Amino acid sequence: MGKYTFKFDENLYSIDISNCLDYENIKNNLPLGLTHEEIIHLLKQQKNIEFDVSYYDQACQNCLNGVAEKSKYFKFLEYYFYAFTKNNKYVMSNISEEYANTSFNKMLKNRIVDNSYIISIIVCIKCGKYSIEIEECEC
């Protein structure tokens, strides 16, 4: 099992199965082959991944950072990318090496893919636990 690590504001964060709080698909229709391991593999292949600060209206379910202070918004780190499928099977992502010379529209036109998903990796800035959300895009 692999892991992906990154640094943000002098803190080291790790994306691996042991600190994942949730891996979910909004409609519970995960594409075949788009596994937790594949997502980590895709992250590890990239050199320019940058997590950005995002704010959510719910606290981290692990550490509840900000709840005691009665915060209205809770700080997380987030990165997202797109995955493309054909017949509900994962084909590639926009961060895959083979995607460099193509686009979703070209692949759709050539019937290489027929659907897309957005994958969001949301990391608690305090405890480092994370969740992965996968949501089907409207084509």
CA torsion angle 17 22 28 34 (round to 10): -30
Which residue range forms the structural domain that includes residue 119? 4-136
Q: How many domains, the chain? A: 1
pLDDT digits (tens, 9 = 90+) for 34-60: 888 999 999 999 888 999 999 999 999
pTM listed for this prediction: 0.89
pLDDT digits (tens, 9 = 90+) for 71-116: 888 999 999 999 999 999 999 999 998 998 999 999 999 999 999 9
Q: Is the CB of residue 58 less than 8 Å from the CB of residue 65? A: no
pLDDT at 123: 97
